[in-house]
Amino acid sequence: MLAPRDRVALMMLLRAGLVVLGTSLVAATALAGCLAETGGAVDATVVDAVEGDTLPPSDAVTGDTLASSDTVTLDTEGPIDTSPLADTAAVDGADTGPPAGTCAARCGTFSVGESCQCDAPCVQYGNCCADYEALCATGPAATDFLVAQGDDCADAADWIAVTHVRDGDTVDVASGDAVRFLLVDTPELSSDDCVAWDARAFTAAEIAASGDSVCLVTDPTSTDRDLYNRLLRYVYVRDAGAGGQPINLNVRLIRLGYGRLLYPYASGRVYEPEGKTAQAAAASEGLGGWGACGW
């Protein structure tokens, strides 16, 4: 049986909240065992008790009143190690990712839970990492634009309002039509594919920056609509990075790794060669899905 002062120490540890409610019984039993093994060598008095607290009648020192100046001390053999537990995650491989707050190894990707982002929409949403410009917004990917050719998108009548962005490669426009981007296939939202939400966010940001309107251009080698009655078009947006010129968003999605050439439907299309060049560059630079998804 525990000595009275040991029972007082145990009781006050419980009252101080040092034993979690759900495990108090187990902890109390373990402490009692330790006290028994040490022959009651633990010297304990009360720590900062509220003056006037009275122990319940069931305790060995029934009715004793605690003074505010009482303290608890514990005699132990050797010092107590209070250093934090070592982080072993790096040993088992869990900490092998890029550091937070930087775009190192993250260019072209959206990272859930990160304080800043490194994909193109971060410019629109104002949440780019501090080194985004230096690491991601320079080099070939930042300037590889396919601008509108000839008279395409030259007139205001060529532009139409976008009412909804379904995913990275499909939008709804003011005419009531759905528009499926030619040439490119972005990951599916319905199955939560890798970088699917990144692709949608990029398309939405580009369209928003273009005044929520796009220019739709047909391909003479393609049918007008697909099996789902969606218009098949090259979609152009005004891009600040290209000096406000209309750029081909289909090829841009491929260039930044948000989508890939859609075969067999991309075969023989007017801009298939540009799509191939964009895809090869994105793959070599590990952008978007090429780096994040292992395409």
Using DSSP, state whether 9 is helix, strand or coil. helix
Residues 151 and 269 in one domain: yes
Residues 286 and 215 in one domain: yes
What letter represents residue 30's amino acid?
A: A
Domain count, the chain: 3
Would you give per-residue pLDDT tens digits along the chain (295 residues)?
555 555 545 555 555 443 344 444 444 444 445 444 445 544 444 334 444 444 444 444 444 444 444 444 444 445 544 444 444 444 444 444 556 788 877 776 777 788 898 877 777 678 889 888 777 766 667 778 999 999 999 999 999 999 999 999 999 999 999 999 999 999 999 999 999 999 999 999 999 999 999 999 999 999 999 999 999 999 999 988 888 999 999 999 999 999 999 999 999 999 999 999 999 999 999 999 999 999 9
- Distance between CA 70 and CA 223 in Å, rounded? 89
Residues 13 and 88 in one domain: no
Residues 239 and 152 in one domain: yes
Q: Give φ, ψ of 11 to 5 degrees.
A: -65, -40
- Residue 209 token pair: 């920056």
Residues 158 and 284 in one domain: yes
- Distance between CA 275 and CA 139 in Å, rounded? 18
Please state whether the predicted TM-score (pTM) of the whole model is above 0.75.
Answer: no
Report the C-alpha dihedral over residues 172, 176, 178, 182, rounded to 10 degrees.
-100
Residues 149 and 218 in one domain: yes
Q: Which residue range is the domain that position 281 belongs to?
A: 144-292
Domain end among 96, 113, 138 = 138
Residues 282 and 231 in one domain: yes
Residues 60 and 166 in one domain: no
- Distance between CA 288 and CA 254 in Å, rounded? 9
282 and 295 Cβ atoms separated by less than 8 Å: no
Residues 105 and 59 in one domain: no
Instruction: Report the CATH number at residue 174.
Output: 2.40.50.90
